[in-house]
Amino acid sequence: MEPGQWRQDFAVWRRENMLALATVGTFLSGVLAFIGTVGTWYRTESWAPTAILEWLGEYDIWTLVIGLMLLAVSSYQLWLVRWYMARFEELIAVSSKANFQRDWTELQQMGRYQLPRRYWKRALEAGRKFGLK
């Protein structure tokens, strides 16, 4: 395997699984933020996960800060992927060739760079249907 090949393979894998990665990232960062919140303000409650909080020690505030930052980033990424998917479906569902041609560049950009490969293939098929290259 070439030195940079694993980066390319990882980039392809990440692109193909971007929705799942954003969903898992949002969930895990939410759990991290929740544990940080519990450790910071509700440590003495009976429902607090004491084993986790004892393991964290005094770093619970950092767990909260890092969890909130990761939650913001992963939530935005999840929203963005879902928005691109919905926008793609909206653009590809048109029946007018004039409207399709007007949005062809945006459709190509989303299919090629922002969404998994199957969207690019669908964009090409729709372009052939309307006689575009």
Residues 65-103: pLDDT tens digits? Answer: 999 999 999 999 999 999 999 999 999 999 999 999 999
Place of tokens 């393991």: 55
- Residue 2 pLDDT exceeds 90: no
| pLDDT computed for residue 53 by the predictor | 87
Q: Which of 1-5, 32-36, 44-48, 56-60 has maximum average pLDDT?
A: 32-36
| pLDDT computed for residue 52 by the predictor | 86
- Residue 60 pLDDT exceeds 70: yes
Alpha helices in the chain (DSSP H): 5-16, 18-41, 50-56, 60-92, 97-102, 104-109, 117-129
Rounded to the nearest 10 degrees, how much is the dihedral formed by the CA atoms of 133, 100, 110, 113?
10
pLDDT grade for 62, boundaries at 50, 70 and 90: very high
| pLDDT computed for residue 88 by the predictor | 96
d(CA 61, CA 102): 50
Torsions phi, psi of 17, nearest 5? -115, 25
- Residue 1 pLDDT exceeds 70: no
pLDDT grade for 42, boundaries at 50, 70 and 90: confident
The residue-averaged pLDDT of 10-17 equals 92
For residue 124, give every residue at least 6 positions away whose Cβ sits within 8 Å of its Cβ, in sequence order, or none. Answer: 111
Which has more confidence, 84 or 48?
84
Average pLDDT taken over every residue of the chain: 92
